[in-house]
Structure 1
Amino acid sequence: MTRRSRAHQSTPGNEQAILEAALSLAVTAGYEGTTMAEVARLSGLPVGSVYWHFNNKEQLFAELIEYCFEQWKVDHTGPTNRDLLRRSIAGSAGGSTDPGNRAEAFWILALLFALEKRLADNLARQKYLEVRKQMFELMVQRVEPQIPAAVLARDPDFGRKMVVLGRALTDGFYIAASAGDDVDFAEFADLSASAVEALIARHAAAALEEDETPDAAPDE
């Protein structure tokens, strides 16, 4: 029986080195510009080791998206909705302009998977869309407890609507960062958070007003 080379054995250290190398290349070269040979060169491993861990580039990028998602779940937490939105906009979109902040910068590339229709059957694109749904549900779980109960009683989908709004804002700022717009992301993160808070407060006031309005007397 042929023994497998130790250099090609699957180890957590080798796998992480490959993922980090792919992430660095993806940020600068994009999906099309990233090759398995370049990933091997940057990781310092034989190209055979890269193929040992990942059958092809699609599988590598699919695993890379999952790898980034796990980091996103750790980083994108906060005690308030304002903190969550600030981390999404100022942390992710703003961080994506910093070449050293590769984990955040990668999400611009991930967003491109959603926009690039010719990659419809691409495994990495399918993984991104799957992860995007998971991100949405996770954010709903974090946002809803901070919304007044009266607002949710009035509109049970209000929390989900706020997450849709927050995601749309974040996606827009991702694109702005990718285009190189001269934007103070921290400032706009605070403006966006203030707008969302004002919207929640308005709905809370409307719910309170409804509760305090006496029912009309029945006609005799």
Structure 2
Amino acid sequence: MTTPDQQSSAPQPSRPTTRDRIYRSPMGLVGGILLLALAGWLGIDAIVAGEGGRPWLALASLLLVVPLVVAFTVRPAVYAGEDRLRVRNPFRVIVLPWGEVASLRSGYTNEVVSKAGDKYQLWAVPVSLRARKRAARKEARRTSQSAGGGRSRPRGLGGLMDAGVHDGPVRAESDQIIHDLRQTLEAREKAKTAQGEVTVRWAYEIAAPAVAGAVLLAILLALG
């Protein structure tokens, strides 16, 4: 039988942590996969069936092209957790505790600004001016219907992130993401666990093979 002292000394279960919200560009992922499939098909065909120096040229081209396609399409992502914002861009990974985030800006690009004044673009959340115009038209139509006492149409689930779960004005998907991140910033910026230093790490796993491919391709082209 367990005594009260033993119960008090027993390890307490850790507080469950919320999983990071992940934001990525669906069109970037689809485009990247298609480009990788095309590059792989053409490159492998040239390596297997090519003659003379063509296989080496194809190999060098793959070393150069594949990392760049991955960097700009598949790799970008934004991870929003309780204590930090992690931005994975083509060649860098930036980790910003919420306490070090000064603002999140949305213009022609979306970017996060640290309290030190450094700006980091959110590659995974591209801005679509067409989606903004579409959202503005929907918001204007909804406002006019509300003012006229008419029944507004239900919000759709695709393209625009105004889908039923969000109250407030209709926004384009990227603008809704920035709005959600700003709300998280307001809620968590003063938390003790959300303090620390901004860290930046270069993605050598992307840069190294791309540079190697570029050097090899330049040598092969120079040798003819």
**TM-score normalised according to structure 1 size:** 0.26
Larger CA Rg, structure 1 vs 2: 2
With normalisation by structure 2, the TM-score equals 0.25
Q: Which has the higher strand share?
A: 2
The structure whose residues are more often helix, as a share, is 1
